[in-house]
Copies of this chain bind each other. A is one copy, B any other.
Amino acid sequence: MFNVAIVGASGYSGAELASLVARHPGLNLSGCYVSAHSLDKGKCLSELYPEHTGLLDVSLLPLTNEAFADIADSDVDYVCLCTDHKVSVELAQTFLNMGKKVFDLSGAYRLKSSADYEQYYGFSHPYSQWLDKAQYGLVEWYGDSLSEAQLVAVPGCYPTAALNALKPLKQADLLSDSTIIINAVSGVTGAGRKASLNTHFCEVSLAPYGLFNHRHTPEIERYLDHPVLFTPHLGNFQRGILETIYVSLKPGVSEHQIAEAYQVLADEPLIRLKGASMPSIKGVANRAFVDIGWQQQGQQLIVTVAIDNLLKGAAGQALQCMNLASQYPHEQGLMG
């Protein structure tokens, strides 16, 4: 049994993760924290999320100095940071210094290059020596390096979908040099729980955002090792990401070669290869699966991939990483 503290538990990713941990037979939810200034402190998590009444009737604790001291002295094994990258970048160090294993759901430690942080995140990374040590938590591809990692950078939701869809093709050397175009649509939970006009019920409407400069672009390019043009959209649904990916194949690549390439994922419990059948948001919402379909015409290949942005993309993937750290099967608690 391992003890888990969640920081930023009041947000969508944090609450989802809390619910996964609370139901996990081998993990214990030892504390749910929010910022010391949060208006939610002291509230019951299930008051914010009535669907979790009975499961998450736990208080949201303010992350005060006393709380830090409590965590340091406690038998907490894993600290999950469901916080903004600006908060995570410091908190990660604090908890690492306590000797805790840290699972950061933000982008604070995902990239490997300080220059990328300056370009895409707009700050000079103060702990760049940790960029190499942090392990990228894409379990299906980097699982071996995760069980011993002190700091796991849990992948972004869009890259989780894109990388699982594209790395098989890259690994099998089927990609031409052309830029891959990734047209992505995310549900509104991806924009977070904070009230804003962007997420107002009457303002949400399918539209693109973040053209040419979204932070997930360098993350995908780094772990795919291939140039991409990534264009996200906000869609009018709550959960899920659908990516329609336009790939230019090397000349002569056959249908069989593509199918073979995807076989590398065939035994992954959370990956569902659908061949020519196209994934949909409905097929993955409220589930931890990655659905991948593809169709080819000559050198043109369209790959479609769908995930639940919270349940595979953020919280679920953090759980996979904790499972590996705990020597549990990585999919434990996610197949329900």
Q: How far is the CA of A4 from the CA of B238 in the complex (A)?
A: 34
Nearest chain B CB to A53 CB, angstrom units = 5
Q: Would you mind naming 21 contact pairs between A and B with Cβ atoms under 8 Å apart? A: A50-B277, A50-B282, A51-B286, A51-B287, A53-B291, A181-B246, A183-B244, A183-B246, A199-B202, A201-B201, A203-B282, A205-B280, A205-B281, A205-B285, A206-B240, A212-B295, A212-B297, A231-B246, A233-B242, A236-B236, A236-B237
Query: A181-B181, A229-B246, A282-B51 are contacts. A200–B208 as well, Cβ < 8 Å?
Result: no
- CB–CB B193/A197 < 8 A: yes
**Which B-chain residue is minimally distant from A302 (CB atoms)?**
B211
Question: Is A300 an interface position by the 8 A CB rule?
Answer: yes
Residues of A140-177 at the interface with B, using a CB-CB cut-off of 8 Å, are none
Residues of A216-271 at the interface with B, using a CB-CB cut-off of 8 Å, are 229, 231, 233, 235-238, 240, 242, 244, 246
Nearest chain B CB to A57 CB, angstrom units = 10
Q: Select A280's contact among B193, B195, B207, beta carbons within 8 Å.
A: B207
Chain B residue contacts of A202, Cβ below 8 A: 12, 188-189, 193, 199, 238
- CB–CB A204/B201 < 8 A: yes
Query: A211-B295, A236-B236, A242-B206 are contacts. A272–B181 as well, Cβ < 8 Å?
Result: no
Query: A229-B300, A278-B208 are contacts. A23–B195 as well, Cβ < 8 Å?
Result: no
- CB–CB A195/B197 < 8 A: yes
Q: How far is the CA of A282 from the CA of B300 in the complex (A)?
A: 32
Q: How far is the CA of A236 from the CA of B236 in the complex (A)?
A: 7
Question: Is A209 an interface position by the 8 A CB rule?
Answer: yes
Chain B residue contacts of A137, Cβ below 8 A: none
Q: How far is the CA of A189 from the CA of B202 in the complex (A)?
A: 7
**Which B-chain residue is minimally distant from A294 (CB atoms)?**
B211
How would residues 23 to 64 of chain A score, 1 for a CB under 8 Å from any chain B CB and 0 otherwise?
100000000000000000000000000110110000000000
Nearest chain B CB to A112 CB, angstrom units = 23
